[in-house]
Amino acid sequence: MRENGWESLLDDVFSFCDVHDILIPKLDESYFPGKSKRKSSGVNYAHHLRVEVFFVVIDVQLQELNDRFDVVSSDLLLGMGSLNPVNSFSNFDKEYENSSRTIVNE
């Protein structure tokens, strides 16, 4: 999600803003944190939204998932995801499947 989800999320946000008549700042304009327009941070809106907002939210969600699920549960969830018939089981890994079977049998 962190690498390839940004563009699709941005498209969804832009279409939502268009439907609801919400003004969208130009992403190539400079971003000024806080209320002061004199303090230039040297970043534009696109950088601010992607790095300082989007990446932070993804990291917080990932940390929350890591706190809620132990390693065994995470491995089992990933293993079940690899058995998805969409894309002809493209994520299937035979070695991973064997290690997951060992965990379940214990």
Indicate the pTM of the whole model.
0.57
Tell me the pLDDT tens digit for each residue of 35-87: 666 666 688 889 989 988 999 999 999 899 888 877 777 777 777 766 666 66
Q: Does residue 89 contact residue 81 with C-beta atoms inside 8 Å?
A: no
Tell me the one-letter amino acid at 64.
Answer: E
State yes or no: pLDDT of 21 exceeds 90.
yes
Query: Whats the size of the chain, residue-wise?
Result: 106
CA-nearest of 24, 68, 64 to 46 is 24
Contact criterion met (CB below 8 Å) for 40 and 30: yes
